[in-house]
Structure formats: structure tokens, C-alpha cells
Amino acid sequence: MTTPALLTPVRLGALQLQHRVVMAPLSRRRAAQPGDVPQPMHATYYGQRAHPGGLLITEATDIVESARGYPGAPGIYSAPQLAAWKVVTEAVHAKGGLIVMQLWHTGRISHSSMQVGGALPVAPSAIAARGKHVTAQGQPTAFEVPRALDLAEIPTVIMQFTQAVKNAQEAGFDGVELHAANGYLINQFMEDGTNQRIDRYGGSIENRVRLLLEIIDSASAAWSADRIGVRLSPGGSFNDMKDSDPVALYDYVVTHLSNRGLAYIHVIEPRESADTPEGTATSDLAAKLRAEFLGPVIAAGGFDQISATKAIEAEHADAVAFGRAYIANPDLVERFRLGAPLNAYDRRTFYGGDERGYTDYPTLSV
């Protein structure tokens, strides 16, 4: 019997995988307060979903205290955080799995209540996102006008990402993923709807992408390029993002990522909304970028087993990331292997709370 394409081995840089089912980065906002420290249930959660030769990508993790944008999101900048993450990586490795940490700085998608001393969030330019956000206490609030980073502050941001890479390595991770998608700080620099700077980090596409490339080069020097991935959301509008020429922008991005020996790029396919049912995804964008990128591509965004298998068979992607299905099915890979039905997810328990809807989903053996 032929092994389904989705369950065949693949290599992503330094990461040798036994199958192409990847757990997508999924914010769950259950870090202990104060301090944004992962709890024992984090180790249980990731350990449940670990699989021999399988790759898990963590929830987006703050690189420094000023990067915070959501209450309950974990960090990777303090000694207690590193110690707690070591327990997580050990749980995953005990099951033969691999785990990569997604690193983020939320930029303008924050609120002064989450910033040191009540300072304004920072961004490339002083442009507020439209819509609503939350305070540190979880109360709805309008986005604030962020403070534009001074040119002299940008090397510090690069250093903060680099230190986070070193911290992730110390905590036992197998690699890192830079969050350059979904309207957070790196993405804010990349797109001209949020970047109206007139210095070397604004204006032309080359200038707007400069921060991403400088972070990658610094991170690669600190660890290894083949253990670094980058998440991208070309054409995405989440968090009030827009660019006047996204095709030219992302062609430039992918071209300049190709010569850096990265583990992978992780491409989010556009969807109508976060509620778009699984199985409706196309792999058109991943296919386009895979043709341009000299390295592996992970596709994400609304895939189910059938559409993911088609994407692999068509060579539109090298692996596919699953989100909601992985939340509700700790043994997702085994269910795919057996063609077993999937548990339904409970959206009410996605963000915050305790073990309910986090570590209590049943496996086939229960």
C-alpha cells in the first residue's frame, strides 16, 4: 500500500521530519501571571501533540516585555520563562518530536496597559490600526496611535530578536520561526500601509524589507540559518494591513530570503475569515512562492487532510500546517494515518482559561 504523500518524510533545513503534518502556531493565552510564564499544562499540551519526527510550532512568543500585545501570551526573555519552556521542549523530545518557537513583537497591535510604565506601543510609523483591541485586563478598547521608532532604536529591536533566538536555543528548541506576518511589527515595517518612514527603513520596498533581512542575518549568525523559518502573509488584511503593490513586495521578500539558507518559509493562504471551514483552502499562493523560493515551503490556512494531500501531491508545498484540527486532536497524525474521524473543536476555549479545551481532548486510545 502506498504511503499518502502527506505522511512521507521531508527535510526542512536542519529539521528532518518523518511526515509533513505540522502544528501551526496557535495563540492560546494561558501563560501564568504575572510574568507571562508557561505553566505545567503547556508541557502537557505540547507533549500530547508531539509525534515521532513531527514538527510543532509554538504559539507566538514575546521576545521582550515591550513586545507584549495580548494578555496571557508567553515570553522568552526571563529566567523563569526559559526554565518553563525547557520543560516543554523536554516533553516534546521525549515523544521523538521536534519543536520550533515562533518569535514575535506585536508592535502597534498592543496597548499602553501592557507596556512598561504605560508607554505607547511602538511601530514603524505613528499610524493606529482600525478596529478594537484589548487592555492588559482583557477589556475591549480602541487601538492607540503608536509611537514611531527612532532610527537609533532599530538596532535594539534587532538585538532583542537575536537574544530571543539565543534564549530559544538555550531552552532546548530545535529552531525558531520569525513572525513576519499578520500585521505585527516586522510585517508593519514591510507594508506601506503601516510604514511611511522617510529613512533607510521606509519608502522603497528594499528599505521596508530591510528590518526583516537584518533580523534574519543577525539571528543566523547567533544560531544557524537552517534552523530559522519565516512566516509570511502576502495580501493579508488581518490587523488592518495593506500594501499598494503586494506582488512586487513579496516577490522581493522571497527572492532575498532564497539566498540565506533558511529552514523554510511558512505561507498563510488568504481566507475569507478565521471561521472559514477546513478543506476550503487553496495552495495557489504557496505554489507561486515555492516556485520562487530556493527552499522548503510550509502552507497554512484552512487545510484539511484532503486539500493538504493535494497540495503536497501537486508539489505546491513541502509541508502543511494545521491549526484548529490540531487543537482538538492531539493525535491528529494518527487519525490521518487511519482515516479516523476528527474531534470537533470548541472555539469558546481557544483563548485563556484552564485545562478545559486545552489538554482534555480525547485521543483514539481513550
Q: What is the number of alpha carbons within 13 Å of residue 17 lying toward its C-beta?
A: 29
The answer to whether the CB of 87 falls within 8 A of the CB of 81 is: no
**Catalytic (active-site) positions:** 184
| Rounded Cα–Cα distance for residues 4 and 6 (Å) | 5
| 203-260 pLDDT per residue, tens | 999 999 999 999 999 999 999 999 999 999 998 899 999 999 999 999 999 999 999 9
| Rounded Cα–Cα distance for residues 301 and 87 (Å) | 29
CA distances for 152 relative to 66, 68, 155, 210, 352, angstroms = 17, 21, 7, 15, 36
Phi, psi (degrees; rounded to nearest 5) at 298: -100, 130
Whose grid coordinates read 482538538? 328
Whose grid coordinates read 474531534? 343
As given in the structure block, the three cell numbers for residue 310 are: 493535494
- Which range has the worst mean pLDDT, 24-38, 49-63, 274-288? 274-288
Domains of the chain: 5-349 (3.20.20.70)
| 34-46 pLDDT per residue, tens | 999 999 999 999 9
What is the torsional sign of CA 281, 283, 284, 286? Answer: positive
> Residues 261-280: what's their mean pLDDT?
73
Q: Which residues, including other chains, have CB under 8 Å from residue 257's CB and lie 6 or more apart? A: 216, 230, 265, 293, 295
| 287-322 pLDDT per residue, tens | 888 889 999 999 998 899 999 999 999 999 999 999
As given in the structure block, the three cell numbers for residue 308 are: 493538504
Predicted structure pTM score: 0.95
CA distances for 98 relative to 4, 64, 75, 83, 306, angstroms = 21, 24, 20, 18, 24
As given in the structure block, the three cell numbers for residue 56 are: 510543532
* Residue type (1 letter), 97: G
